[in-house]
Amino acid sequence: MQVHATSFPFLTSLLLCCGLGLAIILLLPAHREREIKLVSAVFSGLTLVISLYLYLAYDRDLGGQQFAESWEWVPALGIRFANAADGFSLPMLLLTGIVFFTAVLTAWELNYRVKEFFALTFLLVLGVFGLFMSLDLFFIFVWFDVSLFPMYLLIAIWGSTRKEYGAMKLTLYLLAGSALILPAILYLVVGAGLSSFSLITLMQEAVFSPGQQRLAFLLLYIGFGILAGVWPFHTWSPVGHVAAPTAVSMIHAGVLMKIGAFGILRVGIYLCPEGWSYWSPVMAFLATAGIVYGALVGLSQTDLKYVIGYSSVSHMGIVGLGLATLTVDGLSGAVYQMFAHGIMTALFFSSVGYIYDRTHTKAIADLGGLGRTLPRASSFFILAAMTGIGVPCLASFWGELVVFLSAVRVFPIYGALVVLALVISALFMLRVVQKTCYGPPLERYAGLDDMGNGAMVPRLILAAVIIGFGLFPGALFDMINSAAIPFIEGVLG
């Protein structure tokens, strides 16, 4: 893989934006809430601008890793602070930028421990950005853990329903994953004997035996897969989603779960292609199980956020299925689906959060008729549900279509099952829409105020991205193809 250096360290400046924002928030006194929110908005907006610039400036014809930068960190161990971006990571960086910015705007109404909340959010996103751009296994592991630990506090302090349980479960689960990733990384680095943690060096120079690759890939798949909500390691995700505050749910489901899938791709598949093709039937089975299972369990949930949590399990299964097909279109579709699902689920949680803040309930049975009382919030909710169902010309559709296509080719039975699961996902999404937004307006919600213009902004951004990439999916697929095609050619010949 070619690596192209850059004259200006854009990627590091992306990290610096988060770091600087974090520092300024920490320095501000806690009662200056308005200033803290402004600083957060400015710096998260800046990350969005930089990631958007990188996305546009990336040379798709040139391909490879661009904007590369690399500094010595611990020479004795071969650890370098090396970052770069390619067609897989740029959509993720853009996704993070969008979700981060909109999450900060969504949290505008927050008024409890504002300083700590935004500081932890910045720390969380710092880890996410770092992981998506890092080319060094040591840093990938560090960023992974950096993005995990603020989650615990964010859920445990600002959460709702069973927040201690949810936070603890999530943290323990993800730390278990991290406990599998670290040995796998060390095993690979030591096994290569190159005394280097560099992903590129290991990819190009290290020779791993098939046995090594199978073992390491399994560890990495489960370790990162826990974070990606792979069935049956998914139960932390609905509980965590439900417990987390709105903005954290957005980042969590929108971005954090993508870290898992991205880790499988960047570390597992890049370094252990043999292990990948060895385990791919298992991956396909687990993904299919997750898709069907998530949709069916989602059918009988009574809590609004649980429904979305299980829909995430189902949708992330589609990502897993795409990764399991060992094909270019499967890989492209999976990465596209990661992006689309991130935006969709952010919009979902954003509108559900708004509804929850007004009605103070997430029980589906207590809601109804919101289409009349909260028309704007309901519109966004319905848009997100339609995206989740996979209605064409909305972003999610393309990822699903392409993944299904490759899945039916490689795993016909699983592919057919997954396509049938579309009906179930339509059923459970429409059921939720019907029970919350439709029906006669309820007396007790008569006086609720609908979204003002300020609250509309983040939701409008997300909706515009969904529709934009739904109408012009090529803009994203071209980017992903520029990484997927050479990669598959290089790995599978």
24, 186, 203, 426: residue in contact with other proteins (rule CB under 8 A): 426
> Under the criterion CB under 8 A, does residue 442 sit at the interface with other proteins?
no
> What residues between 102 and 121 interact with other proteins by CB under 8 A?
none
Instruction: Please state, in angstroms and rounded to a whole number, the distance separating the CA atoms of residues 487 and 289.
Output: 28
Cβ neighbors of 272 (< 8 A, separation 6 or more) are 188, 208, 212, 213, 214, 216, 217, 220
474 binds other proteins (CB under 8 A): yes
Q: How many Å apart are CA 456 and CA 346, to the nearest integer? A: 14
Q: Among 231, 255, 253, which Cα is nearest to 242's?
A: 253
Max CA distance (Å), the chain:
70
- Tell whether residue 423 is a contact of other proteins (CB under 8 A): yes
At CA 173, angle to CA 170 and CA 178, rounded to 5? 120
Binding of other proteins at residue 330 (CB under 8 A)? yes
Least distance between other proteins and beta carbon 274 (Å): 22
**How near is the Cβ of 306 to other proteins at its closest, in Å?**
10
Determine which residue in the list 29, 75, 193, 232 makes contact with other proteins, applying CB under 8 A: 232
Count residues contacting other proteins (CB under 8 A)?
59
**Using the rule CB under 8 A, is 372 a contact of other proteins?**
yes
Q: Which is nearer to other proteins, 122 or 398 (CB)?
A: 398
Distance between CA atoms of residues 485 and 472, nearest Å: 20
By CB under 8 A, residue 427 contacts other proteins: yes
Q: Which stretch binds other proteins (CB under 8 A): 66-74, 205-213, 329-337, 448-456?
A: 329-337
Among 31, 34, 60, 409, binds other proteins (CB under 8 A): 409
- Note whether 307 binds other proteins by CB under 8 A: no
Q: How far is the CB of 304 from other proteins (least distance, A)?
A: 16
Determine if 398 is a binding residue for other proteins (CB under 8 A).
yes
Q: Does 77 bind other proteins (CB under 8 A)?
A: no
**Which residue stretches of 246-327 are H helix?**
246-251, 257-263, 270-271, 273-299, 304-324
Rounded distance between C-alpha atoms, residue 396 and residue 226, angstroms: 22
Contact between 329 and other proteins per CB under 8 A = yes
Examine residue 198 and tell whether it contacts other proteins (CB under 8 A): no
The whole-angstrom separation of Cα 205 and Cα 487 is: 16
Q: Report the relative pairing of strands 79-85 and 3-5 from DSSP bridges.
A: unpaired
Q: Does 434 bind other proteins (CB under 8 A)?
A: yes
Residue 120 to residue 455: CA distance in whole angstroms = 22
- Part in contact with other proteins (CB under 8 A); list of ranges 86-94, 145-153, 206-214, 366-374: 366-374
> For the residues of 220-236, what is the DSSP string, one character each?
HHHHHHHHTT-TTS-TH
Name which of 49, 60, 54, 62 is nearest 17 in CA terms.
49
* Interface stretch with other proteins, choices 20-28, 180-188, 215-223, 477-485 (CB under 8 A): 477-485
Q: Does 290 bind other proteins (CB under 8 A)?
A: no
Counting contacts by CB under 8 A, is residue 481 touching other proteins?
yes
Alpha-carbon distances, residue 295 vs 102, 288, 343 (angstroms)? 27, 11, 19
Residues forming the site for other proteins (CB under 8 A):
169, 172, 232, 235, 293, 296-297, 299-301, 327-333, 336, 369, 371-372, 386, 391-393, 397-398, 401-402, 404-406, 408-409, 415-416, 419-420, 422-424, 426-427, 430-431, 434, 437-441, 472-474, 477-478, 481, 484-485
